[in-house]
Amino acid sequence: MFRVDARTVGVSDARLMAEIVAARPVLQTERSVYKPAAGADIPHDSATRTIRALGQDVMAGIRKPPPPARGLNGAWPYAPTSYLRRWLFGSDPLPVSLLAKRGITRSDTLSRLVDRAVTTWPGGAGGNGNGNGNGNGNGKSTGTPTAMAGLIRGADDPLERKQAVAMYRRASATLCDGVAALAGNALWLMRTAPEPHQDLTTVLWETLRLLPPAWMLYRNGGDAYAGLHPEIRPEDNVALLPLLMHRHPDYWADPLEFRPRRWDAVADPEKTPGFMPFGFDGARCWAKHLVVPLAERLLTVALDHGLTIRSPRQDAPVPLRSLLSVRFEASVGS
């Protein structure tokens, strides 16, 4: 445990992290996807429907052919983020599909305009008023709308529809951004391995250890944490740091080495001491069951098409933003 600044403490000890997470439920304001929308809290049943719908859309996306691999050319993780959004949500009619566009979500003004357009769009997410999702008259190619879009179309009242729009935008962005970051981090780390490793699942678990996209979990301060450590005060906010815990020699042999084989005989990686890729019980990532399969599928597409990293072998920027992601340029073969 260490002090970051006058009002924030950082924690990298596994036992103390577990005690902090168990001390109280996670607040909605501490979970970006489920923070209030349209002036009201997101109901639990609405959040559950969103998780299920997103799961359906990801599983359907994994089964269908991916877009042309040339979409992975350019700056990572931005290129794979746009690629994933097109892969998973490209069948939705306009303007619904705009909710998942990276250029839209980066602008608060554009996001509000698109949200308003979807909320008032005739026929809802079906695009043509009869709910069959064929995209006629909206400039989109034919296709079956996603289950996420169906939640917008099936909303019973204006508030529910506004919240369904917000959940579509947040959930699609969170998933695609996180998977793109994980896949990019894995590609970068794979270049450091002494020999090629064919099991992409273990590659991804080792990547989640060394370069976890969710490198910090932030908790607002309060009395619930003050008794857990003598230096944590009620007014202190708490930063839980898996990035540091995953590199601690008390938990890991050769902690700074990229060794995917350390996971070969591990039946359930999430039960490994000192490992928190998706949070603890009661505060786990809502999309954890989707992230690794989708990242593996994305890596397979990249490797099958001869993706090459066009950056120096050892150095790449890794800004400490909400997601920890290596930044590099890449291109796929012809």
Q: Which has the closest alpha carbon to 96: 135, 62, 64, 67?
A: 135
Q: What is the mean pLDDT of residues 24-43?
A: 81
Range 120-142 average pLDDT: 44
Which pLDDT value is given to residue 140?
43
Nearest to 174 by CA among 77, 255, 287, 266: 287
C-alpha 33/C-alpha 115 separation (Å) is 16
Task: For residue 118, name the pLDDT band (cuts at 50, 70, 90).
Answer: confident
Q: Give tens-digit pLDDT for 208-244.
A: 999 999 899 889 999 999 989 999 999 999 999 999 9
Calculate mean pLDDT across residues 35-55: 88
Q: Distance between CA atoms of 37 and 50, rounded to whole angstroms?
A: 14
| pLDDT exceeds 70 at position 50 | yes
Between helix 158-190 and helix 78-89 the angle, nearest 10°, is: 130
Cβ proximity of 204 and 295 under 8 Å: yes
Residue whose pair of structure tokens reads 């042999």 in the numeric block: 253
CA distances (Å), origin 118, targets 51, 93, 138, 147, 168: 20, 10, 13, 15, 11
Query: Which pLDDT value is given to residue 269?
Result: 92
Query: Which residues are 40's β-sheet partners?
Result: 37
Reported as a pLDDT band with limits 50, 70 and 90, residue 120 is: confident
316, with CB counted inside 10 A (0-12, 13-18, 19+), is middle
Q: What are phi and psi of 261, to 5 degrees?
A: -65, -15
Average pLDDT over residues 292-308: 95
Distance from C-alpha of 9 to C-alpha of 6, rounded to nearest angstrom: 8
Q: What average pLDDT does the chain have?
A: 86
Indicate whether 31 pLDDT > 90: no
Instruction: Give the pLDDT of residue 130.
Output: 35
pLDDT by residue (tens digit) across 151-197?
998 998 889 988 998 899 889 988 999 999 999 999 999 988 767 66
Sequence-ordered alpha helix ranges (H) in 64-190: 78-89, 102-105, 108-120, 147-153, 158-190
- Residue 44: its pLDDT value, please? 83
